[in-house]
Structure formats: structure tokens, C-alpha cells
Amino acid sequence: MTAARKIVIVGHGAAGLTAALAASEEARASNTAVDITVIERSAEGVHGGNTRFTPCYMRLEAPERLSPGFVDDMMAVSSGKNDCAYFETLAAEAPATMLWMQSHGIEFHNPVYYLSVGPPRIQPIGGGETIVRELTRAAKEAGVRFRYGCLAEALEKNNSGRISGLRISNSDGHPETIAADVVILACGGFQGDPAMLREHLGPGGETLRMISPGTRLNAGHGIRMARSAGARAAGDWRGMHIEPIDPRSQGPAPVVLVYPYGIVVDIAANRFFDEGAGLVHEQWEEFARSIHFDRKGSEVYAILDSRLLDIENYGRAIRSEVPAYRADTLEELAVMIGIPGVSLKATVDVYNAACTGDSAKFDATQKDGLAAEDCLIPPKSNWARAIERPPFLAYPLIGAIAYTSGGIATDTNARVLGERGPIPGLFAAGEITGHFHGTAPNAVAVLRAAVYGRIAGREAARS
């Protein structure tokens, strides 16, 4: 009797779960005996990494259809640095992957995304938690074994250079080696490792707030293991996806994305950028990064007036459960948030004097061209309405990291690449792989994890 192929998967998010389930199905279809084990660092019940806590927007028009120009958009956002073949494969495989996920109990809808227009998106009903729940159920029904509380530490190779095992610290804290014919790394980036953040993002990187409880568990273990096994580094190692959030909130990803409709000031009550330069998803990374690395105290304040409350469904752009600060005067508002009142009043007066356009043109759903006068520095290119109608509102904002862009090199079959080609028996998918350069493409992170996780699982069962 032929021994069962041993496939070990590190990570329990979208990439790891699609890999486990796809490997099981591929093996069954080819009548191949497999033994599939998922190794997860966290405890059962809080597993799922970033996936569990994400709203999980995916850049498709419908589960069976991407929008035209998807690959061109992926290349444009990176100024041509992204691997075109990687994104062409992603585009080709995405619809089939979404329909496959539907067949395992995950239903999608077209969400209302914040306030402004943007690329079309779908979302699993229930967000990332639905993906984790339904694919875990399906994988267990398919015979996949899950081991929780285990930290993967090193890959082992045989004399021919093929992956032969995985060394872990098990749930009892004891060292253990798991024999493996194939290992699939799906355990995220290095955002949970302060030392790596400082090394690659610069001083201050080590103090970045994690955007969700699952984010801190992605601490670069998989990247370090793969690099020690000969994997090439890839991606933008200074890159990350970072979002502006309310630091008062204890919830996951408590973004506050109404700031373009007012002004943003630092702790000295000074404006420092064009709040209306673009749609939220076009500028939020640059904005959030600037908050953390360039602003004193790494905290700023969105200042608005009561006209925010008149914007239809404005609450869609606020995921913080903590209400805005409210006051009848700007000076009172400044006291509440701890910035100089005289300076805030002066900043708002200068801004208001430059807001001479027709406020009837204001349109929160798109770049409306309602710009401030050229004399305003920094400028305000869209949504420039005077802040004059009490009560006045304020939201504190900080930058919170979701994932990093630097990782390991893989090909379109999800094989991990060394200096001389694929490393036999080693695959990877998701944030651990280095395929983003510059700004992270919007609504693609979970999509690529699911697609390439499925590819990795299929190829692992075949290899």
C-alpha cells in the first residue's frame, strides 16, 4: 500500500483554509491518499488571523466576474513593478475560486462600501468570520486535522534538498518535528514583529498599532523559516497596508473615513495635507502612514461640523463604536481633544475664508471638484465646505497596520522560489508572499489569499 502523502499547512486564515480544502478535494479526485494537517499558532476559537476580523471586500463585480481592466489596475498601482503573470493568474482563477467558495456555504453580496464610489466589490455575508467558519467546517468534514496552539519554527530538508518536515513548538510547549512531503506556508506577514517593523519600515515602526487582534499573530515566522530554507525575498519591504482608525475604539479595524469632508489637524491645530486630494481608498495609506511617522504624537484630529450628519448614510464610513467629540464652539472642542483652541479657531477661519465655492455642488460619493481657493495651503481639492454649523465634531485618528508587503518569492503555481528555482515541496500563499509594491491594491488581499491558497493546495496534492 502506498503511504499517504503528508501535507502540512501553516496558518488558519483564508490562504491556509483554501489550501487545506483544495488539497483534500484534489487528492480525492485523483484517488490519492493524503494526510493533511493545519498548524495554527492561536488557540481554537480565536483562530483565523487577519481573515477572521476583516470586512473581506473582494474586487469583483460578481462572484463569477471581474471588472475589465483588473490586471492593468494592479500594474498601475505599483507603477509597473508588480509581477504581471501573478495578477493575470489571479484574474483568471478568481471567479472559479469564488464559485467554489459558494459551493462550500459562503454567500456573497455587493456591499455598500463607505460613501465614495470606487472599484466594484463583493463581500461574503458575515465578512471574514464567515470564511473562517465555513471553510473550517468543510475542511474538517473532508478529514483535515487541525492543531492549535502550535508555533512553527523551522523547515527541514532531506539530502536532496526537498522539504521533509516542519519543526514546531507544540501546544504543551515541547519541540516536535512533523514529517511532511509538502509544506504550505500561509501564516501572514511580519506586522506582529516589532523588531522587523523597525528594521524594514524605519524608526517608529515598532510602535504601530495592530488593526485587529489577529494581526499581531502574523509575526514573520513563516518568512524567516522560508528564507532560512533558501527562499528569495520579494515584494516591497518598506510597504504595508495601513488605515486611519479611532484609537479610542477596542474593536477590529475601527476606521473613520469621513475626514475628507472636513479638515484634519495635528496636535498644534495645523492642517498638513490636502484632505480632498482623492477618494478615501486612493489616499488612506499615505495619510495613515504620515500620521504615524511624520506627525508629533502620531495622532491627528478630523474636524467637521453638523453637516456631516446630513450626508446620507454617513455612518457607513465610520466603523468606530465610540461617538465623535461634540461641542458648540471650536474652542470647547479643542479643550475636549487637547489641542490649542485659539490655534484651531484660526486654522478653521483661514480654511473657511477659502471655501468660496457653491456648496450645492458638494457630493460625498465622488470627487466633486468643490475646491478651496488657491490661496489655501495646503490646498483642499474636493469637498471644500466651510466648517461653521454647530455642533462641531472631532475624531482622533492614528495609523494602524493591517499587513506588510515584503515576503517571499512564489510563482503562479504558488511554489516558493529559491535562487535556482522552486524549492521542492514548499508552497506559499497570502500575505507571506511578496507581490505588492507601492500602495496595496484595494480589496485584493483576501482575494489573492483565497485564490493562491486554492492553487497551492491543488499543486501540493499533485506534486
Answer whether 148's CB lies under 8 Å from 171's CB.
yes
CA atoms within 13 A on the CB side of 86: 25
Give the pLDDT of residue 113: 66
- pLDDT tens figures, 310-336: 999 999 999 999 999 999 999 999 999
Q: Residue ranges of the chain with pLDDT lower than 70?
A: 1, 113
Grid cell for residue 276? 480632498
d(CA 78, CA 59): 17
Domains of the chain in start order, with CATH, are 5-238+405-462 (3.50.50.60), 243-400 (3.90.700.10)
Give the pLDDT of residue 171: 84
Residue 48 burial by Cβ neighbours in a 10 Å radius (0-12, 13-18, 19+): buried
Q: What value does the CA radius of gyration of the chain take, rounded to a whole number of Å?
A: 24
At CB < 8 A and 24+ separation, what contacts does 166-175 make? 166/8, 166/10, 166/39, 168/39, 171/147
Q: Is 143 helix (H, G, I), strand (E, B) or coil?
A: coil
For residue 103, the tally of other CB atoms under 10 A from its CB is 9
Give the pLDDT of residue 114: 75
Grid cell for residue 93? 482563477
Grid cell for residue 45? 476559537
Compute the Cα dihedral for 267, 368, 71, 103 and give only its sign.
positive
Give the pLDDT of residue 281: 87
